[in-house]
Amino acid sequence: MQFHSKKSLGQNFLKSKGAVREIISAGGVISNDTILEIGPGKGILTEQLLQTGAKVVAVEKDDRLTNFLKEKFADFITQGKFEFVNADILEFNPSRFMLHTSCYKLVANIPYYITGEVIRQFLTNNIQPKLMVLMVQKEVAQRICSKDGKESILSISVKAYGNPKYINTIKAKFFSPIPRVDSAILLIDDISKKFFDNFDEKGFFDVVKAGFAHKRKFLVNNLEKITEKQKIVNIFDKLLIPLTARAETITLAQWKDITFNILST
What is the fold of 201-264?
A: Helicase, Ruva Protein; domain 3 (1.10.8)
Q: Which pLDDT does position 6 carry in this prediction? A: 47
Query: Mutual orientation of helices 153-161 and 252-264 as an angle, nearest 10°?
Result: 90
CA–CA separation, 233 vs 238, rounded Å? 9
**Can you give the length of the chain in residues?**
265
Q: Which pLDDT does position 3 carry in this prediction? A: 52
pLDDT of 187 > 50? The answer is yes
Q: Does domain 7-193 have CATH number 3.40.50.150?
A: yes
Q: Where are the domains of the chain?
A: 7-193, 201-264
Q: Which pLDDT does position 8 carry in this prediction? A: 43
CA–CA separation, 53 vs 56, rounded Å? 9
Q: How far is CA 49 from CA 83, 89, 105, 122, in A?
A: 13, 19, 11, 20
Q: Confidence band (pLDDT; 50, 70, 90) for 148?
A: confident
Q: Which pLDDT does position 226 carry in this prediction? A: 92
CA–CA separation, 166 vs 188, rounded Å? 9
Mean pLDDT within 196-213:
95
pLDDT in tens, 96-142: 888 998 899 999 988 888 899 999 999 999 999 999 999 999 999 99
In the chain, what percentage of residues exceed pLDDT 90? 77
